Amino acid sequence: MRTPIILAALLIFSLPAFAQVPCRGPDGIGEPGVAAATPTANQFHRVPGRGLACAVDHAEGAAMVEHDKPVSFLPCLKVGAIAIADGIGLVEGLLGEPTNINELDYRTEARVYPIHQRSIPEPYYVVTYQDKVAVAVQLIGPPTEMPATFSGLSLGDPAQKVLDTLGKPERRCMFQRKGPETWMWPPFPIGVDVLDGRVVGLKATWPAGRRTPD
């Protein structure tokens, strides 16, 4: 079995109006447990003493090392079946038609896709597209009946599993009064929403200001 290669972050995490959002550090949320011995390809992975990294399969990692491909954590920016850089046709082939479309500017729109299952309320995706390419993916709500994970984390998981998987977040921010707390690990453009000790949201984005991924 080939061990995935771990890649450190290279791109800078950017969040609009970050300074205006009430944020704090990781104090008081506990300590991570034992890190996984073998990382899983295309998932973020905590490296004790070094922080967070993106694991890729051997062939892709070797191509990056040889400069045949750019070094990137794009392979790990995937929530459930939907990844950053997926085209709108691929996404809607998997999720179906959106129930809501919000045009953000002439190039950018956000679309909402509920996951139909027995639980009420239903979980749902929010996918933001720029030039018909996914640049942000969020999965929000109660646990999904069918597996839909981000780096091995699922909606409904305990906060301790987030710590064990990704380590302590650098920032914890409240974007809505009485809403969840969003844990973030800059410079990686990812977030996990935690409310009452459980995961209620999983997020991956493309760094602001960067050319649309392809």
Q: What is the pLDDT of residues 65-86, one digit of tens each?
A: 666 677 688 999 999 999 999 9
Instruction: Give whole-number Cα distances, 174 to 17, 19, 94, 191, 195, in Å.
Output: 13, 12, 31, 12, 11
Average pLDDT over residues 83-100: 96
- The answer to whether 193 touches 184, Cβ cutoff 8 Å, is no
100 class by beta-carbon count within 10 Å (0-12 exposed, 13-18 middle, 19+ buried)? exposed
- Percent of residues, the chain, with pLDDT higher than 70: 82
Closest among 89, 44, 70 to 204, alpha carbons compared: 44
Instruction: Give whole-number Cα distances, 8 to 48, 62, 93, 123, 135, in Å.
Output: 13, 14, 32, 31, 20
pTM summary value: 0.87
Instruction: Indicate the pLDDT class of residue 18, thresholds 50, 70 and 90.
Output: very low
Among the ranges given (45-49, 159-163, 208-212), the one the predictor scored with the smallest mean pLDDT: 208-212
- Percent of residues, the chain, with pLDDT higher than 90: 57
- HSE, side-chain direction, 13 A CA sphere, residue 112: 12
Closest among 121, 118, 84, 126 to 102, alpha carbons compared: 126
Answer yes or no: is pLDDT of 124 > 90: yes
Closest among 6, 34, 55 to 164, alpha carbons compared: 34
